């Protein structure tokens, strides 16, 4: 059963005609504007209503990992590194 569901996924994706590959600046702009107006959630609706030819999962991942306001970019500070090392020594992996 699981194998048949997984085999059907690429077919469903092809039938939907979802775009794959790198996001364009125009797509980023559409996603940012839509989320700023309507908020996060119901990502399958976001993709459809914002006029994006992407899956809901792709929209969610793009927002969470790259576009979300307040997302910290760059290297960690020495203080953050110390906290990580301290917590790792207490809790492990």
Domain extent, residue 32, equals 12-91
pLDDT of residue 3: 56
> Is 73's pLDDT higher than 80?
yes
Terminal alpha carbon distance of the chain: 34
Across 55-85, b (16+ Cβ under 10 Å) vs e yields: bbebbbebbeeeeeeeeeeeeeeeeeeeeee
Cα–Cα distance, 52 to 32 (Å, whole number): 12
Q: Name the token pair of 38.
A: 């309507």
In a domain, 1, yes or no: no
> Is 9's pLDDT higher than 80?
no
pLDDT of residue 48: 86
CATH (domain of 75): 1.10.10.60
> Is 13's pLDDT higher than 50?
no
Averaged pLDDT, 3-19:
58
pLDDT tens digits, 31-71: 999 999 999 988 988 888 888 999 999 999 999 999 999 99
In a domain, 6, yes or no: no
- Collapsing DSSP to helix, strand or coil, 57 comes out as helix
Count of domains for the chain? 1
In a domain, 2, yes or no: no
pTM strictly above 0.85: no
């Amino acid at each position: 059963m699981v194998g048949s569901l997984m085999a059907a996924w690429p077919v469903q994706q092809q039938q939907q005609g979802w775009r794959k590959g790198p996001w364009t600046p125009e797509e980023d702009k559409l996603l940012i504007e839509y989320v700023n107006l309507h908020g996060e959630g119901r990502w399958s609706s976001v993709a459809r209503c914002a006029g994006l030819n992407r899956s809901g999962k792709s929209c969610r991942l793009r927002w969470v990992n790259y576009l979300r306001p307040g997302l910290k970019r760059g290297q960690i500070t020495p203080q953050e590194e110390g906290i990580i090392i301290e917590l790792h020594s207490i809790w492990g992996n």
